[in-house]
Amino acid sequence: MLLNSQVALDSVDRFIKVAAEIAKLPILGQPHYKAVAEDLYKIAQKLLVANENMARWLNRFLHFDFRAADARARFLVLVQDYRTTKAGAGFRDMKFSCGDISTIYRRNIENKLGDMFPQDEGAREEARRAFINLADADVDMVAFIYDTVVGGIDDFVGDAERYVDQSDLNSAEARRLAFKVASASLSECLERFGGGLSDLVLDYARLAERRVTLA
């Protein structure tokens, strides 16, 4: 995996770990910390939506059924849908807004880190770095999405579409399996992030005493 891609993944991974620890702090249950919990909910939800959009497109191809009677027609429609979305604004949904995250962090969270970790300067600095890294992740996230996620799908689609055009669904299936093997670590990572971020959304919705709503 490319260096920029790994940096992007590390920034999300670090946030999940730090936010999970913050959610356990007794101080988060105090009424005047509802605004902090609300903002942590918003950050986790933004990351979750972006993660799910990446996973959704990846899985539509990884789990495509070339055994179906109408596989050829369905695959060509899927490819057209993919290309239309990619050419428009739809693929922006794969990336969370680093600027939004920076704004949310500085609104209520940044000035409360000292109260959250009054006796642990190391934990306080780790939390601060987790938020700063997310806020500065634009270049790395773009590289990750286009080099790793979109790049992998493009390579698969280019090969599989040729086989489908020739009605060679056996070769298309073999290419899908090779794509699945090559994408195994990425799929595992997105699934793990999805689980961790879902937990955070639920935890912070509870702490903020709010409903989980569609982003």
Q: Note down pLDDT in tens along the chain; length 215 residues.
A: 455 568 888 999 999 999 999 999 999 999 999 999 999 999 999 999 999 999 999 999 999 999 999 999 999 999 999 999 888 777 778 888 889 999 999 999 999 999 999 989 999 999 999 999 999 988 888 888 888 899 999 999 999 999 999 999 999 999 999 999 999 999 999 999 999 999 999 999 999 999 999 97
Which residues fall within 8 angstroms of residue 102, CB to CB, at 6 or more apart?
A: 134, 135
8 Å CB contact between 197 and 19: no
CA 34/CA 4 separation, integer angstroms: 35
By the 10 Å C-beta count (0-12 exposed, 13-18 middle, 19+ buried), 166 is classed as exposed
Distance CA 142, CA 34 (A): 32
Residue 26 is classified by DSSP as G
- pTM, 2 dp: 0.93
For residues 77 and 72, what is the distance between their CA atoms, to the nearest angstrom?
Answer: 9
